A and B are shown apart, each in its own frame.
Chain A
């Protein structure tokens, strides 16, 4: 059945591509960039309004258009910049190149923008389920502790949920946090969070924008089931040296960027560090020697982003990207020491080449690794536990523009994975103690590969199609899996303000996160597909309708989706996931499904902007060995999810922002009964909770209002602002978790039992100072 479908799909692609030749059109292309710093403008709209033809620049600021022969008025727009209009003549012969340079907008009011795409472009975009967010936008919105976080801001979009209070994990359309493909300049990020998920690893000063695909995935992406998050890093300023940064409640940031060789090469280096440990060390020092004083553990996280870009010529450009981030937690007192460190290390070298105006090429060599390490020692006894994944990937992508409205993408990638799983070493310093030292753990290697071809076909001004096929494979421990992953999307404009959309995507995931809980922890382990552990697969269909309202100032989008997933992984009750040489024996395999409807109303221009999102959704898993084979809701199954974001520009210097979220409480497991276990002689009797069906309870509904004021200052040195935030403005006590407690009298006799709710963050005001020196 699947083969038949694939053959039909290939036939369909051929039928569409073949009749594309010999029409009286020509290709124009070019790059849209900012006049002030020469940075490429991603998502800028380039159009010929008289023909109703337009496109959006890609991640390199490039655009291409197919235009009929004749004279046209070409227009480029980008929020925050003055529109640019030019007159062009399109004739036969060579393809035409028009690079378009936009001036920064003269009105500061234009900086209050929601997204870098226009509503018209979103209306006419064939892609579905795509959310783009710029740092500029995220910096305006209120944030926990004032720490701007693009990933958390994405959680305010429909279909995207957080794992819990303050967490930066993404749960997209019923998928888990391990089912997101997170990429920085083509390199995969395996753990995109700091501090147990409370902050993402993306320093806002180093990131220009993020783009999240919730469905309708283009064929160039593969390897995860539920979403693709592409993080676009800032490039160094080409014009002049600049320093910028911010002083916050929890961390500080500092960024330098500027030209190395004017017009040819620039650099960016950006660092961020928390300072809890600086404070706690001082507190510990002040209390040193006090008998009953328990040391406060040290914790810090830091990250360093670098980017270097170098223009080799008119047609070639090199990009070198680096990321290094670590979380470090430590404790050392009275001969007992404990350390937990984790972090990503990423390197990416990209070469972009333009053969001519119709063929573009990008190739990258990336290296990424994620490692966590636990160490503990008591006197002479010590143990360490390390898990790691390390990849080297070679990836090549081609963009080919054909006449007749076709834009063909094709490419391939190959990845070598190296896994270190549960490397446990127990050691005794004093060798007179008999035979206690031992080691466990496994090392695996695997190869993953993929190749794809896709076509974005503008059939006519009303109908556009995007379709493709990805061939993927994975080889590990003598077993090779291969799969075909068809993708398709279509948009049909019923009128200038109304379009219908549909998409289908099949995705494979060959590596799996071994997690001891529904939450995402830094100690989770990546595990390859093996002869016993088959790859996960998902398929998703989505239908949507978009409508421009009120003279195009609002866009209303409705998307309904259904996703079904096979070979989902869970674990046997009580499985030991850490010191276990036969880990996969504890795996359970099942299936999942999620479905829902997302409504999104947005406004991106004017003094008041923002969006309102509502998601109605269901997310389930089903395993033979869990819940007696009955399906159960995932922890992040949330029936109703509402987010309202409003930004209002009071004056050129003052902006007010507010965000309100409401969500059905997370599904949760609670004991339904208790038993008493006395145990063997010498043991105290204990109350033991009895759990029944998984996630059969609901925490109370979650809601929260955050408020913010951004005050732009006018320093002599350049730019600065003060951002005041109030997180949880009406001090709602949202449940983080619930537990049952035994209430005792003064003789430790049980009096009664009661339920307790733990809430994390009360009202939290914060202030951040951001600056930029030119």
Chain B
């Protein structure tokens, strides 16, 4: 955040008046594509995964599908193969390449593993534990002088364990794109009440869906490193960050999503 502001500062002073952007030819070394897996298991929803592969930066922008990828999820000693059948759904559109008919039934403490292989001998593995749901303790909103409201939500952190949270707010429904998307660790607030807050952006009558995910460290690291990697492209002050994947053998994330979700209307 601060770096962005500093960059804005720099931009304001020099770039706006003096800087010039030129398109240039940039040769990149050959890239050996690696598997990219995204699989978020959610209670009551079917097992679905997206398997793509990484691309050279200047390749055509078509999704690099991997039709011969085989996805297997294991749980409680039982293995389930996901079928390759690319489908899209939702808004913003999500692409799923593999799915199983069976819905996920979460039990806190359960352990899932995933294995992805393909015809080129590439293999990605990962595991995820079902964390207990952490309930949203309270949601409040507060108006400023201009009639705009900020929303705050609290949770009670469990002491003496490292916990990570993801906080999102959507307007009207969760397909609408999130207004707020934050992650936090309890490092500075272990065992205390943790509060997430927004800026003064909401108005009376707004319907908001507030989601609190209890995430694991792998999810937290992946989220942060993806954000940092995106920021490094175009910020001359940022040190580039490698993506901290939660899976081995490729890029991506395999995790469980436990969420407490509440709908509020700003009044």
Asked if A pairs with B, the answer is yes
Q: A residues near B, CB below 8 A?
A: 164, 166, 195-196, 198, 276, 296-297, 299, 329, 334-336, 338, 340, 374, 378-381, 385, 430, 432-436, 438, 440, 516-519, 521, 523, 571, 573-574, 578-579, 581-582, 669-686, 688-691, 694, 700, 733, 736-742, 750-762, 764
Contacts of B213 in A (CB 8 A): 680
Bound CA span A554–B175, Å:
75
Shortest CB-to-CB span from A290 to chain B, Å, is 17
Contact flags B32-67 to A (C-beta < 8 A → 1, else 0): 010010101000000000101011111011010000
Contact string against A for B residues 159-198, beta-carbon threshold 8 Å, 1 for contact and 0 otherwise: 0000000001010001111100100000111001101010
Interface pair B174/A681, CB less than 8 Å apart = yes
- Check if B177 sits within 8 Å of A430, measured CB to CB: no
Which of A329, A678, A739, A751 is the one whose CB lies under 8 Å from B61?
Answer: A751
Given contact pairs A523-B6, A752-B58, A756-B24, enumerate 18 new A-B contacts (beta carbons under 8 Å): A195-B13, A379-B148, A432-B140, A433-B195, A521-B237, A523-B2, A574-B225, A673-B31, A673-B56, A675-B252, A676-B63, A681-B90, A681-B94, A688-B226, A690-B229, A691-B241, A758-B20, A760-B15
**Complex contact A690–B92 (CB within 8 A):** no
Shortest A460–chain B CB gap in Å is 53
Residues of chain B contacted by A276 (CB below 8 angstroms)? 13
Contacts of B21 in A (CB 8 A): 756-758
- In this assembly, does B233 line the interface, its C-beta being within 8 Å of a C-beta of chain A? yes
CA–CA, A669 and B237, complex, Å: 11
- Cβ–Cβ < 8 Å partners of B63 in chain A: 676
Chain B residues positioned under 8 Å from A752 (CB to CB)? 58, 60-61
* In contact, A691 and B240 (Cβ under 8 angstroms): yes
User: Which chain A positions have C-beta within 8 A of B22?
Assistant: 733, 756-757, 759
A35 to chain B, nearest CB (A): 45
Shortest C-beta distance, A738 to chain B (Å), equals 7
Indicate whether A685 sits within 8 Å of B54 (C-beta atoms), given known contacts A573-B242, A755-B23.
Answer: no
- Docked Cα-Cα span, A142 to B224, in Å, equals 45
- Is A669 a contact partner of B232 (Cβ separation < 8 A)? yes
Q: A676 with B52: in contact, given A574-B225, A682-B176 (CB under 8 Å)?
A: yes
Inter-chain contact B238/A517, CB cutoff 8 Å? yes
Check B20–A673 contact: CB distance below 8 A: no
Q: Are A196 and B225 in contact (CB under 8 A)?
A: no
Take A335-B144, A518-B239, A691-B240 as given contacts and tell me if A684 and B221 are in contact as well, using a CB distance cutoff of 8 Å.
Answer: no
A435-B154, A739-B233 as given contacts; A761 in contact with B9, CB under 8 Å: no
Contact A686 B6 (CB under 8 A): no
C-alpha spacing A672/B61, complex, angstroms: 15
Q: Chain A contacts of B199 at CB under 8 A? A: 336, 378-379, 381
With a cutoff of 8 Å between Cβ atoms, the chain B residues found around residue A688 in the complex are 226, 229-230, 243
Residues of B near A380 (CB, < 8 A) are: 142, 144, 150
B108 partner residues in chain A, CB cutoff 8 A = none
Min Cβ gap B231→A in Å is 10
Interface SS of B by simple majority: mixed
* A759 CB contacts on chain B under 8 angstroms: 19-20, 22
Q: Which residue of B lies closest to A432 (CB)?
A: B142
Q: Which of A436, A677, A700 has the most CB of B within 10 A?
A: A677
- Report whether A675 and B20 are in contact in the complex, using a CB–CB cutoff of 8 Å: no
Distance in angstroms between the alpha carbons of A57 and B24 in the assembled complex: 53
State how many angstroms separate the Cβ of A575 from the closest Cβ of chain B.
9
Q: Which residues of A contact B251 (CB under 8 A)?
A: 675, 690
- Return chain B residues, CB-CB under 8 Å to A582: 187
Once the chains are docked, how many angstroms separate the CA of A513 from the CA of B23?
35
Give the 8 A-B CB pairs with smallest separation, nearest first.
A755-B26, A737-B236, A739-B234, A750-B61, A691-B240, A669-B240, A379-B144, A436-B195
Question: Which A residues are in CB contact (< 8 Å) with B145?
Answer: 335
Question: Closest CB of chain B to A352's CB: distance in Å?
Answer: 42
Contact of A374 among B2, B20, B26, B146 (CB under 8 A): B2
Q: Are B232 and A379 in contact (CB under 8 A)?
A: no
A613 and B217 CA atoms in complex are apart in Å by: 52
Please determine whether B189 and A438 come into contact, CB atoms closer than 8 angstroms: yes
Q: Are B58 and A335 in contact (CB under 8 A)?
A: no
Which chain B residue shows the least CB distance to A299? B13
Chain B nearest CB, measured from A281 CB (Å):
14
Q: Please pick, from A336, A433, A756, A760, the residue contacting B152 in the complex, using a CB distance under 8 A.
A: A433
Cβ–Cβ contact B20 & A677, under 8 A: no
Contact A689/B229 with A329-B9, A516-B3, A516-B238 known, Cβ cut-off 8 Å = yes
How far in angstroms is the closest Cβ of chain B from A305? 24
B104 on the A face (CB < 8 A):
no
When distances are taken between beta carbons in the complex, the residues of chain A under 8 Å from B90 are 681
- Taking a contact as CB atoms closer than 8 A, the residue among A438, A523, A573, A686 that contacts B225 in the complex is A573
Chain B positions within 8 Å of A682 at CB level: 92, 168, 170, 174-178
Complex formed: what's the CA distance from A432 to B195 in Å?
A: 13
> Which chain A residue shows the least CB distance to B193?
A435
Contact A581 B236 (CB under 8 A): no
What residues on B are CB-neighbors of A672 within 8 Å? 28-29, 31, 56-57
How far apart are A336's CB and chain B's nearest CB, in angstroms? 8
CA distance A742 to B59 in the complex (A): 12
| A518, B239: Cα distance in complex, Å | 7
Roughly how many angstroms separate A195 CA and B12 CA in the complex, as a whole number? Answer: 12
A4 smallest CB distance to B (angstroms):
40
Whether A671 pairs with B95 at a CB distance below 8 angstroms is: no
The answer to whether B26 and A683 touch across the interface, beta carbons within 8 angstroms, is no
A251–chain B nearest beta-carbon distance, Å:
13
Question: Could you tell me if B200 and A379 are in contact, using CB atoms closer than 8 angstroms?
Answer: yes
Shortest distance between the CB of B22 and any CB in chain A (Å): 5
What's the least CB distance linking B180 to chain A, in Å? 11
Residue B74 lies at the interface, judged by CB distance under 8 Å to chain A: no
Give Cα distance in the complex from A344 to B257, angstroms. Answer: 49
Contacts of A516 in B (CB 8 A): 3, 237-239
A683 touching B178, Cβ below 8 Å: yes
Closest CB in chain B relative to A293 CB, distance in Å: 14
CB distance from B175 to the nearest CB of A (A): 6
The answer to whether A753 and B61 touch across the interface, beta carbons within 8 angstroms, is: yes
A167 CB to nearest chain B CB (Å) = 11
Instruction: Chain A residues near B189: list those with CB within 8 A.
Output: 438
Question: Which residues of the other chain, B, contact A681 by a CB distance below 8 angstroms?
Answer: 90, 94, 174-175
Contact (Cβ within 8 A) B257 A680: yes
**Residues of chain A contacted by B5 (CB below 8 angstroms):** 338, 340
Q: Whole-angstrom distance between the alpha carbons of A445 and B18 in the complex?
A: 44
A297, B5: Cα distance in complex, Å: 11
Contact assessment for A297 and B57 in the assembled complex, using a CB-CB cutoff below 8 Å? no
Contact of B55 among A196, A573, A674 (CB under 8 A): A674
Give bound CA distance, A581 to B24, whole Å. Answer: 43
B10 within 8 A of A: yes
By a CB distance below 8 angstroms, the chain A residues around B241 are: 573-574, 691
Knowing A574-B244, A682-B168, A733-B22 touch, does A519 contact B237 (C-beta < 8 A)?
A: yes
Known: A378-B199, A516-B3, A678-B94. A433 touches B31 (CB 8 A): no
B178 touches A378 (CB 8 A): no
A517 to B58, CA, bound (A): 26
In the complex, the answer to whether A581 meets B187 with C-beta atoms within 8 Å is: yes
